[in-house]
Structure 1
Amino acid sequence: MTRHGFMITRLALTGPTVEAAELRFRAGLNVITGPSDTGKTFAFECIDFMLGASRSPKTIPEADGYDSVCLDIRDRQTNEEISLTRSLKGGSFKLDIGGKKKILGDKYKAENEDTASQFLLKLSNLQNKMIRKNASGQTRAFSFRHMAHLSVISEEEVIKNRSPILSGQYVKATEEKSAYSLLLSGSDDSSIVEVPDPREIKGHFEAKEEVLVGVIASTKSKIEEISIDVDLPTLNKQLGRLEHSIHECEASLNERMESAAPFEEIRHTVWGKLNKIESRLGVLSELQSRFFLLYDQYQSDILRLQAIAESGARLGEMSLDRCPVCGALPEDQDKDHQECQIEPLDVARSCISEISKIKGLISDLELTQDDVKIEIEKLSSSRSQCRDELTRVTQILEDYHSPRISDAINNLKMHQEQKEHLLKAISLYEQLNELEELLEDLQKETTKQKQATKPTFAGLRDHHLEAFAKAVQGRLEAWKFPNLDRVTFDKQNWDIVISGRNRSSHGKGVRAVTHAAFTLSLLRYCLDSDLPHSGVVVIDSPLVVYRQPDAGEEGFSSDVKLAFYYDLSQSYQDAQVIVIENDAPPDDLDTANAVNVIRFTGTNQGRRGFIPVPSQSDKVTSQ
């Protein structure tokens, strides 16, 4: 069996002042895993860029200082180590094979062998192949980018609701189908002879007709999707009646809102009044608390003064044998000391006078407390009245006005949605009429050309498609895909049908998994059939269903995820599969060295991401 293709061994970013960022790969399954913003998608874009994509990887802050990307690959047939280097800004490639260097152009030209596309095609044994580009039989040279979307799948493409074969660009559909046919059958379209004059003119008109028929079919399909089965005049009449109904709904809504407005105004006024009352009651309650404290303080002062007064009176009744100042006996006492002494009775009289003043203050305080109490009672009564009024008005609004307004809004919304639906249908019908008129005019112009024999081209034979469908079915069975019955190939949509349902009609999670099955089965089919292929598949986020399934989409059991990794680790040891996912594969596969796992942690523990974080010393040096 011939060994076709190549294997990626190393991806590196380099720059004159920064440490190289490297990822190393091996044969079989490789998994780049880690949280968001660690450079996984950037690494994917670098691989695609080095396989000939014209668009440079998206600029990220971590890549500052890097100016080139290097992709090391190994020729599977000769085991030669090959290095390709390209500026991150784009342009040509530098090729290095064992020290022999050459410049490869980035633009594919069939007559120029020194291009990156020609070089990769030679490694894949797909050089000098031709594919059909349109219905008239025109052909063009097959480039590596014609097959890139069948082996390098981004996280956006893996969930698209179209065939993995097609890019969605109508003008490229024939080329893309021919490229798939080349890979699946091994036969190109070089034997097709371009239609000569006058058939060339016919082909020109047929190409126009093909576009018109395709657009007309698409328009009819859209009309069927919106479930409209009446003609355009009827739709216009319905639109007129609906606009009149919308006007009535708007008038009804305005009337109901105006009816509710006085009650809303009352509620607003009462609510404001209630807030003021609550605020004043809060102030009065605080004053009342402070008055209680002041009253207690006055009572305490009276008791203290009464005690002093009583003590003074008692002391005044007593005779002193000794001097209260120096303690001397009467015969030895100093007259000056007697003059300095304050009579206890004077102290008692002062205390009684002070008590009288405090009682006056207490009397004033009690009057004030009475006023506050009366005001609190009045405000409390007003508050109760406001609350009752607020409850009454709110009840009226909620029980009567709000339901009526809500019904009017819902009714208006329903009519507006119906109008939008009708406008869409009318637009589609008008577009369909214009297209059919254009098609009719075109058919009149090409009446003579239609009498000539239209060239036919043999497409993929049924046994190729059946064998490929069986390969996909086997892949899904190995992954324990739920409720799997039979897989077939739909020639109309150029996509697989799983258990009687078109693959593209599933939610994005199922589309991602089955897109991966389609792409990996094509690789396995080519290897088993000894057909040319690059031998490499790179898929970003094939297990997206585990993180964010569509609304209403049932998630798969964890068995599917485990079976996915176990199957890839065992079934692609003679090829190379690179999977980029947030979640890591089972630990036992990593432990058994069955998978090359590249873990990004997003932290300082382990490898942070694709691009190393510079140390502080490096930052200082660069500055």
Structure 2
Amino acid sequence: MPNFYIKKLIVSGNGNEPSVLEFDEGLNIICGPSNTGKSYILECIDYLFGSDNIRFDRKTGYNNIKIIVDTDNGSITFDREIDSNKIKVHSNDHRIESGDYRTSGKKNISDVWLRLIGIDEEHFIIKNSRYDKQRLTWRTFSHMFLIKESVVFQEPSILLPKQNTAHTAALSALFFLITGQDFADSDPKEEKKIKEARKKAVVDYINKRLSDFAERKNELNKLPVGDEEYLQEKVENVLAEIAETEAKITDFVNRSKQLLKEIYVVSEQLAECNTLYNRYQALKSQYASDIKRLTFIVEGELHKRNMHPNSKCPFCDSSIPSLQKEATYAEASHAELHRIQLQLDDLVEAEQDLIKERSVLESKLATLNSEKSDVELLIKDELKPKIAALKATLYDYRRAIEIRNESVVISKYETTMKSELFEAMIEEESEVEFKIKNYFSRDIIATLDSYLNRVLESCKFDAYSSAYLDPSSFDIIINGTPKNTYGKGYRAFLNTVLAISLMEYLSDKGKYAPELLIIDSPILSLKEKGDGVASDTMKAALFQYLLDNQAHGQVIIVENDIPDLDYSNANVIQFTKDESYGRYGFLNGVRQ
């Protein structure tokens, strides 16, 4: 939970029905058409922050503003009449004393707000280069988290107030929020010693860098490096040769695949030949058996003619009757034998043809396998090693170019650093000036940069690549372009992103954090000519980011139209400017 959050805003007076807005701890969105009193909301809150002026139409009859704030220890009510510098405070938080406070002088309302974020003691900050001091007040930095419509698209940084003379005080206040250091005990004499020590450190650093550069250049000069045009020509030639060799590899790989297909076909044909040859052998064996059988029959018939038949039975010695002449099989067997012999002759002839065909196929298969082996050997032993050698040569040439470029860059750095060294050494001693920007360390700026980049990336800023906080202007540089070069819609968006980033940074890393952000019209004018689609994406992404990141404090957004998203986890207050439905506007009974 944040240190505090605004729970309720009440505007009343002269018998008018009080106008009340209730807020939640996280995201609050007030939306609706123009002239419904939305901007009055920021004016009222700012007035109770201690502003001397309020842009408020007295003719409305409303003349009293009240807000109720909730804390971990209770609630506090702030009550102020318009055109009065007295603010009544009623508190049941033991840290805050009830009573009448003023916008200036003793018992200042600023002390109440500072105490709510943990600043209990009085602090003085540096307000200009002469080390003059002023009291830290809530209003010294409130412009960083309460951003009105008239300034949301301003060209200067949203972290800096409009008055140039107040820049040092504002940044001193920000530095105090980050670190807790207020420079109240700063001594210009001590600062002069620090300046002299810093100057010596700069000179020593530059000399050390120049020594390092010289050492590195000597190392680079020992390496073989040719002319830049020569090296570039060599790189192009090697790339062309690599491309040519890779094309050959592709051709040979395709040829190898084709040979494999042909080998498969010939192998199938050879397998068929072998199968047919085996069948021929079985058939020859069958024919040989048939010829042997028939020959046996024919020879038997021939021997039978030479035998005399018995007239008596060898057992009983009785006469055997004469039988009719038995039929002979010799002629039929001889005819069958002749037919089979002819078939065998045909089979032998077919077998010879098959053997010749098989020999041709075996020869073709051997040729194909040999060619395939030669192709694979060429790819493996010649082309691929050639590619590897060419790539190694290409790396050497590119490395040579890098060495040459590094040497050129080092020379440029040497020239720049020599110039900086000369300026540092001849710098005249002058009265020490307080420069608050010098106190923002690299770590502080780098961490802020990381928050900025995360929010910008999440919010899908058009053509986003990189961004950083410029320590001289304390403003965003995005993709190398300063924010003030963008149109006002994009400036409003970037100012909002910076304010969100600062709120989250202080909440996570700061010594003290308001944990409050109030912005009027962050996207109202974003839809610029030619950028409609991209801007709609940015709008939706910004509001989605606010919906998804509510742990850093209370956010109050005032806007005309809001993107079509799921706002179930936000407090949305909508004004309709229509008598027939909803709430017309902020102030009850006021029509514009």
TM-score range, shorter chain: 0.5 to 0.7
- Corresponding residue SS for 2:504: helix
SS in 2 for 1:174: helix
SS at match of 1:136: coil
Distance across 1 between alignment mates of 2:569 and 2:436: 49
Q: CA deviation at 1:190?
A: 3.1
- Per the TM alignment, residue 106 of structure 1 is displaced from its structure 2 partner at its CA by 2.7
1:72-108 CA-to-partner distances (Å, cap 9, x unmatched) read: 1112xx241111000012311111113x973343334
Establish whether residue 182 from structure 1 lines up as the match of residue 176 from structure 2: yes
Do structure 1's residue 586 and structure 2's residue 561 form an aligned pair? Answer: no
Question: Does structure 1 residue 564 correspond to structure 2 residue 560?
Answer: no
Relative to 1, partners in 2 of residues 1:602 and 1:120: Cα closer, same or farther, differing over 3 Å? same
| Aligned-pair CA distance for 1:450 | 3.6
1:602 to 577, 581, 584: 577
Change (3 A) 1:608 1:532: same
Q: CA deviation at 1:164?
A: 1.1
Separation (CA, whole Å) in 2 of partners of 1:512 and 1:480: 15
In structure 1, the partner of 2:47 is 49
CA distance in 1, matches of 2:537, 2:478: 19
Match of 2:157 in 1: 163
In the other structure, the counterpart of 2:62 is: 66
Q: How much does 1:35 deviate?
A: 0.2
Q: CA deviation at 1:187?
A: 2.8
What corresponds to 1:481 in structure 2? 461
Aligned partner of 1:503 in structure 2 is 483
Give the share of equivalent positions with the same residue, in percent.
25
When the two structures are superposed, what TM-score results if normalisation uses the length of structure 1? 0.52
TM-score, with normalisation over the residues of structure 2? 0.55
What letter matches 2:60 in structure 1? D
Supply the distance in 2 between the matched residues of 1:498 and 1:586 (Cα, whole angstroms).
27
Q: Distance in 2 between matches of 1:485 and 1:56?
A: 41
Q: Distance in 1 between matches of 2:23 and 2:509?
A: 25
Within 5 Å, which residues of 2 pair with 1:14-93?
14-59=12-57, 64-75=60-71, 78-93=72-87
Structure 1 vs Structure 2 CA RMSD: 3.0
Which residue is 1:544 aligned to? 524
Deviation digits for residues 352-386 of structure 1, max 9, x if unmatched? Answer: xxxxxxxxxxxxxxxxxxxxxxxxxxxxxxxxxxx
Structure 2: unaligned runs, 5 residues or longer: 193-427
State the one-letter code of the partner of 1:536. L
> Hey, what's the Cα distance between the residues in 1 that align with 2:431 and 2:535?
58
Residues 516, 539 of structure 1: 8 Å contact kept: yes
CA 1:610–1:9: 2 relative to 1, 3 Å:
farther
- Counterpart-to-counterpart distance in 1, 2:446 and 2:497: 15
Match of 2:110 among 103, 114, 117: 117
Shift of 1:611: 4.0
One-letter amino acid matched to 1:11: L
SS of residue paired to 2:44: helix
Report SS of the residue matched to 1:69: strand
Q: Could you tell me how far 1:577 is from its partner in structure 2?
A: 0.3
What is the rounded CA distance, in whole Å, between the counterparts of 2:136 and 2:434 in structure 1? Answer: 25
Q: Is the Cα contact below 8 Å between 2:503 and 2:552 reproduced in 1?
A: no
Q: Does structure 1 residue 135 correspond to structure 2 residue 129?
A: yes
Question: Distance between the aligned counterparts of 1:28 and 1:139, measured in 2?
Answer: 36
C-alpha distance in structure 1 between counterparts of 2:144 and 2:573, whole Å: 24
Distance in 2 between residues matched to 1:127 and 1:553, nearest whole Å: 48
Match of 1:514 among 482, 487, 494: 494
1:470 aligns with 2:466: no
Aligned to 1:263: none
Distance 2:132 2:565 in 1: 52
Q: Which residue of 2 aligns with 1:360?
A: none
Shift of 1:551: 6.2
Would the alpha carbon gap of residues 604 and 501 (structure 1) be closer, same or farther in structure 2, given more than 3 Å must change?
A: same
In the TM superposition, 1:285-324 aligns within 5 A as: none
Listed one character per residue, the Cα deviations across residues 246-272 of structure 1 (whole Å, up to 9, x for unaligned) are xxxxxxxxxxxxxxxxxxxxxxxxxxx
Match of 1:96 in 2: 90
How many residues are paired up?
351
Matched, 1:126 2:119: yes
8 A Cα contact 1:85 1:93, kept in partner: yes
Q: Against the structure 1 CA distance between its residues 588 and 611, is the aligned structure 2 distance closer, same or farther, given a 3 Å change threshold?
A: closer
The answer as to whether partners of 1:600 and 1:606 remain within 8 angstroms in 2 is no
Contact kept? 2:2, 2:553, Cα under 8 Å? no
- Once residues 160 and 585 of structure 2 are traced to their aligned partners in structure 1, the CA distance between those partners, rounded to angstroms, is 31
2:37–2:587 contact (8 Å) kept in structure 1: no
- Once the two structures are superposed, the pairs formed by residues 7-406 of structure 1 within 5 Å of their partners are 7-59=5-57, 64-75=60-71, 78-98=72-92, 102-109=98-105, 114-128=107-121, 129-184=123-178, 186-195=179-188
Aligned positions of 1:397-476 closer than 5 A? 450=430, 459-476=439-456
CA distance in 1, matches of 2:152, 2:450: 21
Instruction: Tell me by how many angstroms 1:65 deviates.
Output: 2.5
Deviation at 1:181, TM superposition (A): 2.1
**Matches of 1:580 and 1:478 in 2, distance apart?**
21
The amino acid across from 1:64 in the alignment is T
Cα separation, 1, equivalents of 2:431 and 2:128: 20
The amino acid that maps onto 1:71 is: I
Q: Measure, in 2, the Cα distance between the counterparts of 1:469 and 1:605.
A: 48
Letter of the 2:154 partner, please give it.
K
CA distance in 2, matches of 1:457, 1:549: 34
Taking the aligned partners of 2:433 and 2:587, their CA distance within structure 1 comes to 64
Change (3 A) 1:588 1:554: closer
Shift of 1:555: 6.5
Return the index of the structure with the highest Cα Rg.
Answer: 2
| DSSP-derived class of the 1:21 partner | strand
Quick one: structure 1 residues 550 and 175, their matched pair in 2 at CA, closer, same or farther if it must change by over 3 Å? farther
Alpha-carbon distance in structure 1 between the residues aligned to 2:3 and 2:491: 27
Looking at structure 2, the residues matched to 560 and 454 of structure 1 have their Cα atoms a distance apart, in angstroms, of 40
SS in structure 2 opposite 1:159?
A: coil
Distance 1:552 1:101, change over 3 A: same
Q: Does 1:491 align with 2:471?
A: yes
CA distance in 1, matches of 2:148, 2:540: 22
CA distance in 1, matches of 2:434, 2:133: 17
Residues 55, 90 of structure 1: 8 Å contact kept: no
> Corresponding residue for 1:422?
none
Report the CA distance between 1:604 and its aligned residue.
1.3
Q: Contact 2:28–2:570 at 8 Å: present in 1 too?
A: yes
Q: CA deviation at 1:468?
A: 0.4
Distance 1:551 1:585, change over 3 A: closer
Amino acid at match of 2:558: I
Instruction: For residue 530 of structure 1, report the CA deviation from its aligned partner.
Output: 5.1
Q: Distance in 2 between matches of 1:517 and 1:562?
A: 14
Deviation by residue 1:445-466 (Cα, 9 ceiling, x = unmatched): xxx9948899999511011011
Change (3 A) 1:102 1:506: same
Distance 2:25 2:19 in 1: 21
- Equivalent residue for 1:350? none
